[in-house]
Amino acid sequence: QNAFAYERAQERAATEERQRLARDLHDAVSQTLFSASVIAETLPRLFDREPAEVQDGLGKLARLTRGALAEMRTLLVELRPTALLEMDLSILIQQLVIGLQSRSSAEIKIEFAGQEWDLPQDVHISLYRIAQEAINNVIKHSRATRADVYLTWKADATHLKVVDDGQGFDPQHISPERMGVRIMNERAATVAIDLNIMSEPGQGTTVEAIWSKATPNG
């Protein structure tokens, strides 16, 4: 009975997490499309007088629409959870970055290394969620100008790392709005992912998540 209650609680928590992320994505897509529509309405009035500004505006418009498309794909994944398991982790993370990049002035680079292989389903989902929260934190809290996302596949392990040059924080004193840190820790604990969050005020943040086949889940 206790095991059944625990399983139900886990299912409820996962559903609530998906709903929260879906709401955030819906709001983000709406904001992105609103910004794109404002730019699209403004450009014709500047066409003859400010050609350089029009060129810049067209670049922003392209970035916003690319981001909105990526965020819509991510939203569809959230609304159909099995889709998470139907897509490679590298593609899921790439979509995340493209979507979030459109709403941030930070430059976000992605680097994949090694040959991707199938992870256990719970590990696949947990690594994606950790990446999602880490990248969200870069956009929402870090005030970073640059972030790098690394996903490395080795023969016996998968290594995710997100590094930013933002304002950092004290991991021992996490403010309540940083829900992402708690979620990352919970996700890592459930599937024996080795998670390290390294940060200092003014020194940026590094999130490292390593899952090895040698773990009990392997």
Please tell me the predicted confidence (pLDDT) of residue 1.
Answer: 61
Do both 9 and 98 map to the same domain?
no
Classify residue 86: in a domain, yes or no: no
Cβ count near 72 (within 10 Å): 17
Is residue 138 within 8 Å of 144, Cβ to Cβ? yes
pLDDT tens for each residue of 8-28 = 666 676 677 667 667 776 677
Band of pLDDT at residue 154, cut at 50, 70 and 90: very high
Do both 110 and 168 map to the same domain?
yes
Classify residue 43: in a domain, yes or no: yes
Q: 77: closest CA among 90, 100, 95? A: 95
pLDDT above 60 (res 217): no
Please tell me the predicted confidence (pLDDT) of residue 89.
Answer: 95
Which one of 81, 116, 148 terminates a domain?
81
pLDDT above 60 (res 66): yes
How much is the mean pLDDT over the chain? 83
In the chain, pLDDT over 90 holds for what percent of residues? 37
Do both 198 and 131 map to the same domain?
yes
Do both 100 and 72 map to the same domain?
no
Task: Give the distance, in angstroms, between the CA of residue 195 and the centroid of all CA atoms in the same chain.
Answer: 16
Which one of 60, 81, 102 terminates a domain?
81
For the domain that residue 193 is a member of, what is the CATH number?
3.30.565.10
In the chain, pLDDT over 70 holds for what percent of residues? 86
Do both 77 and 100 map to the same domain?
no
Band of pLDDT at residue 88, cut at 50, 70 and 90: very high
More confident residue, 160 or 49: 160
140, burial (CB in 10 Å: exposed 0-12, middle 13-18, buried 19+)? middle
DSSP string, 15-69: HHHHHHHHHHHHHHHHHHHHHHHHHHHHHHHHTTT-HHHHHHHHHHHHHHHHHHH
Q: What residues are paired with 147 via a beta bridge? A: 108, 164
Please tell me the predicted confidence (pLDDT) of residue 84.
Answer: 83
Do both 71 and 108 map to the same domain?
no
pLDDT tens for each residue of 186-199 = 899 999 999 999 99
Q: For residue 7, what are its two tokens? A: 């399983």
Residue range of the domain that includes 7: 1-81
* Ranges 37-46, 76-85, 152-161, 184-193, most confident: 152-161
Do both 73 and 132 map to the same domain?
no
Number of domains making up the chain: 2
Do both 34 and 107 map to the same domain?
no
Which one of 81, 101, 116 terminates a domain?
81
For the domain that residue 64 is a member of, what is the CATH number?
1.20.5
Do both 103 and 72 map to the same domain?
no
Q: Which helix (H) or strand (E) holds 211?
A: strand 205-212
Phi/psi of residue 103, nearest 5 degrees: -110, 10
